[in-house]
Chain A
Amino acid sequence: MSQTSHLSSVQKSAQPDIEDMRKMHVVVVGHVDHGKSTFVGRLLHDTDSLPNGKLEQVRKNCAAEGMEFEYAFLLDALIEEQEQNITIDTTRIFFRTTQRAYAIIDAPGHKEFLKNMVTGAASASAALLLIDANEGVMDQSRRHAFLLSLLGVKQLVVLVNKMDLIKHDQSTYEKIKVEYTAFLKSLGLTAVHFIPIAAKHGENVVQRSDKMSWWKGPTVAEALDNFKHEDDLTGLPLRLPVSDIYRFDHRRIIAGRVEAGAIRPGDELIFQPGGRRSTVRTFEDWPGHSRDVVGTSGSANFSLSEQIFVERGQVAAHPNQQPRVGREFRARIFWLGKEPLQQNKTYRLRLLTQNVEAVIAKIEKITDASSLEPIEASTVPRDTICEVIVRSTRPIAFDLHSECAITGRFAIEDKGRINGGGIILDSITEKTSGEGKVTAAERTARAGHSPAVIWFTGLSGSGKSTIAELVERRLFDAGKKVFRVDGDDLRTALNRDLGFSATDRAESVRRASAVAGLFANAGHIALVTLIAPLAADRAKARAALANHAFIEVFVDAPLEVCESRDVKGLYAKARRGEIPEFTGISSPYEAPEAPEVHIRTDKLSTTQAVELVINALDKILESKAEDWEV
């Protein structure tokens, strides 16, 4: 190679004046000894990207130690690598052209270092995969492609290297191309090009080889400049995992990175799991650095209009485009742990900022990542791929990988160490196994939460149904099993035979508590809305439901306020004497003395009221959760 040139002189962009400063991350993978480090060393040399004196220094070092110079030594800076001739960890090499900057990631090809290859490839937008023309497609050539497909690296160029060793023979090249294309196809991958090169001599790297005139496609340098940056996810539904909550002079600031979509002040957000809603009040940027929108990969910090309980791990989304919330899904996992992955063992599952305990409920299939053949084994050995059912002990927010990759993938941690990663294929909501009578614990496990009864008491027109309906909606949207037992509904059916005498009222409360108890037994959160004016009747209901979490919500508004609302025209009728024994007018209402939640609907907004109820429920369910989390 007598002459060097910049990549930019090879490929001119349409707008040469605009410099693309975003680094294109390209990972270089392939079987051990297929020439990755040599290729990268050569690429740097031929693009004139080496620091002054680097080449001479390495040549001198080699001469001093009696070794033959290799381009690979330019990169393999660690002692062990030079001794063993293996790239132990991923190396990043930065270089730039007048058009754009590159980070070339040189990933190790040796099987022992697969976790390092994963680390390198996961941060890349494109991949160059080397195959030794003399050796052909090998174990790691296939395994790396499988991992690229799992990691979501879609742009791939295959470099058929060491063409000089096979006398630049086109038919050998074609054979490799046919064989490997078929393999890639089975993974759903397509290579943009198969470029024949001889990295050691710089053939078809930057300079076109005169020994392979049959090759009409691009050089590697040209192919590099044609790679595109990863898709901008700003057009996708918002996914903002909460990193932290900061408290500054009474402001609560929610911090998190926008992983997909965009967020603006005024946006209504729902936080999953949990399902609480609020509105973005403002970005709380450092003064003088404020923004009006934060798009994908931006780090946001904002306050909410209504104070709600938010914690690290929750994913903020727009209510009309929510993630799934669940505890069980089918996933494809690559396992890097020294100890095999085991069925029924508990690991930590990390998905964005969520970090929960999860059990590998079932290992369905173990696949050799190279041959794609199934492996018969009860545990998953290191560096293999498997399909499993994962069950978390708490609900998590996620998407299927096919819907939104960034929220559809996770890492598995064991003893504080990340040992594997996976993509979510399907969510599972039904579970169909077990023997004998269905137990309360099983119902709770399926629901993902304990049952509860929330009893809304208060005058007619105080706002019981309004609040209960909003609470129901919130819980329902959060994936909870919930049902409203409405006093008016009961009256038209179950309680048709009852009037408004003290005895009938007592019976009405008894029946409502029995119905609520049935729903709770079935695993639901039952929301009862019933005036239940007498303290003694309510006490009996509470006692009857003692097996369940019970929350009494006193929906409190002054009589004048209720009467002025008079949605159903009942107060007017009562005043005219058309309804006898009307609570508040002609019949007493005994206000609860120690309700779990006391809501002054004349003072609070409905949103605030709903929040009080949800917070009380969360608290009581969290204390219950320990009973069933295994």
Chain B
Amino acid sequence: MSRNAQNDHLTRLEQTSIHIFREAFANFRSVCMPWSMGKDSNVLIWLARKAFCGKIPFPLLHIDTTYEFPEMYEFREKAKEIHGVDLIVRINEDAIRRGIGYATHDPVTVTHELKTVPLKAAIDEFKWDALVTGIRRDEDPTRAKERWFSPRSAEGVWDYKDQPPEFWGQFASTAPEGGHVRVQPLLEWTELDIWEYIRRENIPNPTLYFARNGKRFRSLGCHPITHPVDSPASNIDEVIEELKLTRVSERAGRAQDHVGRNSMQALRAKGFM
């Protein structure tokens, strides 16, 4: 790295994210980092390792919907090894017994049952008061309004109408009674930043992001509702070149976002990431 490395755009983003990680770890009693195994999540792991001298001092959580792509399960085991993380895996067995699934239910219901509900259960079980998430402001208009430290009530609800002010590096560092705070180190990053950083740092990622037979995944979720986009980009360089020109939104392939006019907001207000 060059002498003035922090003047470099990616390094600035990286250094800010590291600061957010450290402030969270210093302020909260018990921190957890949900891990989707997607690109943003993998960048988060990398940043956390940099923030804490190589070893992440809190557990990771994978909410397994049982609808992950098979390749993701393989990637999970490989990445767990590489990063030396403490991983907790949770599945909403009850919902699966009740037959909740994409074959019979709409994506908003399934997302809520298989992601949000087990996440809340895990928070109750482990009493985490801070969750580190990989959301970015450029992903979706509701996420654009997010804070670095974003409080959630005991019910997991995001009160987007009355968010705490955030200025001069001072964040809402107290979790609401019975609730927790979402810590979001990637807020200022864009999709392109993520890929450029992955290239620069050589961060492991699932190969589903790269084109096979003219299609690739730009955003990864449950396989029944996640669709590839048309793309010839079969490696990182090509993905980056493609993103510099694209005008298709990143989450275009994620069905649960597009059910109603404000489905993403409805999901997020109820506790979705």
Measured between alpha carbons, how far is A416 from B261 in the docked complex, in Å? Answer: 35
CB pair B54 A287 closer than 8 Å = yes
Measured between alpha carbons, how far is A312 from B53 in the docked complex, in Å? Answer: 18
Once A75-B141, A79-B265 are accepted as A-B contacts, the answer to whether A417 and B172 lie under 8 Å apart by CB is yes
- Segment with Cβ contacts to B, from A88-96, A535-543, A575-583: A88-96
Decide if A502 is an interface residue (CB 8 Å cutoff): no
Q: Identify B15's interface contact among A103, A243, A299, A409, CB under 8 A.
A: A299
- Total count of chain A residues near the partner, CB < 8 A: 67
Decide if A567 is an interface residue (CB 8 Å cutoff): no
Decide if A61 is an interface residue (CB 8 Å cutoff): yes
Once A77-B142, A118-B167 are accepted as A-B contacts, the answer to whether A296 and B6 lie under 8 Å apart by CB is yes
CB pair B168 A421 closer than 8 Å = yes
> Which A385-435 residues sit within 8 Å CB-CB of chain B?
406, 409-411, 413, 416-419, 421
From B187, which residue of chain A is reached at the shortest CB distance? Answer: A92
Measured between alpha carbons, how far is A352 from B167 in the docked complex, in Å? Answer: 11
CB pair B188 A50 closer than 8 Å = no
From B250, which residue of chain A is reached at the shortest CB distance? Answer: A51
Decide if A289 is an interface residue (CB 8 Å cutoff): yes
Decide if B127 is an interface residue (CB 8 Å cutoff): no
Once A21-B10, A93-B144, A299-B22 are accepted as A-B contacts, the answer to whether A417 and B15 lie under 8 Å apart by CB is no
Decide if B272 is an interface residue (CB 8 Å cutoff): no
Specify the main secondary structure of chain A where it touches its partner: mixed
Decide if B97 is an interface residue (CB 8 Å cutoff): no
Measured between alpha carbons, how far is A115 from B22 in the docked complex, in Å? Answer: 25
**Which residues of chain A are near B174, meaning CB under 8 Å?**
416-417
Decide if A297 is an interface residue (CB 8 Å cutoff): yes
- Segment with Cβ contacts to A, from B44-52, B87-95, B101-109, B116-124: B44-52
Shortest Cβ distance from residue A38 to the other chain B in the assembled complex, whole angstroms: 16
**Which residues of chain B are near A312, meaning CB under 8 Å?**
26
Chain A 231-253, CB-CB to B under 8 Å as 1, else 0, gives 01000000000011010100001
Decide if B247 is an interface residue (CB 8 Å cutoff): yes
**Which residues of chain B are near A75, meaning CB under 8 Å?**
141
**Which residues of chain A are near B5, meaning CB under 8 Å?**
291, 298
CB pair A292 B3 closer than 8 Å = yes
Decide if B4 is an interface residue (CB 8 Å cutoff): yes
Measured between alpha carbons, how far is A352 from B169 in the docked complex, in Å? Answer: 7
**Which residues of chain B are near A410, meaning CB under 8 Å?**
168, 170
CB pair A119 B167 closer than 8 Å = yes
CB pair A286 B163 closer than 8 Å = no
**Which residues of chain B are near A248, meaning CB under 8 Å?**
53, 55
From A51, which residue of chain B is reached at the shortest CB distance? Answer: B249
Once A103-B188, A298-B15 are accepted as A-B contacts, the answer to whether A418 and B22 lie under 8 Å apart by CB is no
**Which residues of chain B are near A80, meaning CB under 8 Å?**
161
Shortest Cβ distance from residue B88 to the other chain A in the assembled complex, whole angstroms: 23
From B261, which residue of chain A is reached at the shortest CB distance? Answer: A61
> Which B1-57 residues sit within 8 Å CB-CB of chain A?
1, 3-12, 15-16, 18-19, 22-23, 25-26, 49-55
Measured between alpha carbons, how far is A80 from B160 in the docked complex, in Å? Answer: 10
Shortest Cβ distance from residue B143 to the other chain A in the assembled complex, whole angstroms: 9
Chain B 103-141, CB-CB to A under 8 Å as 1, else 0, gives 000000000000000000000000000000000011011
Q: Identify A119's interface contact among B8, B22, B165, B265, CB under 8 A.
A: B165
Q: Identify A22's interface contact among B9, B164, B247, CB under 8 A.
A: B9
Shortest Cβ distance from residue A329 to the other chain B in the assembled complex, whole angstroms: 16
CB pair A21 B9 closer than 8 Å = yes
Measured between alpha carbons, how far is A94 from B143 in the docked complex, in Å? Answer: 12
Once A51-B249, A94-B190, A119-B147 are accepted as A-B contacts, the answer to whether A299 and B167 lie under 8 Å apart by CB is no
> Which B146-182 residues sit within 8 Å CB-CB of chain A?
147, 160-161, 163-170, 172, 174
The chain B residues found within 8 Å of chain A, CB to CB, are 1, 3-12, 15-16, 18-19, 22-23, 25-26, 49-55, 137-138, 140-142, 144-145, 147, 160-161, 163-170, 172, 174, 188, 190, 247-249, 261-262, 265
Known: A91-B145, A296-B6, A421-B165. 10 other contacts (CB 8 A): A21-B8, A79-B262, A89-B160, A89-B163, A93-B144, A116-B163, A232-B7, A243-B19, A410-B168, A418-B165
Can you list 10 A-B contacts with CB-CB less than 8 angstroms, sorted by A residue number? A52-B248, A54-B249, A92-B137, A94-B137, A94-B138, A115-B164, A232-B7, A243-B26, A298-B6, A418-B165
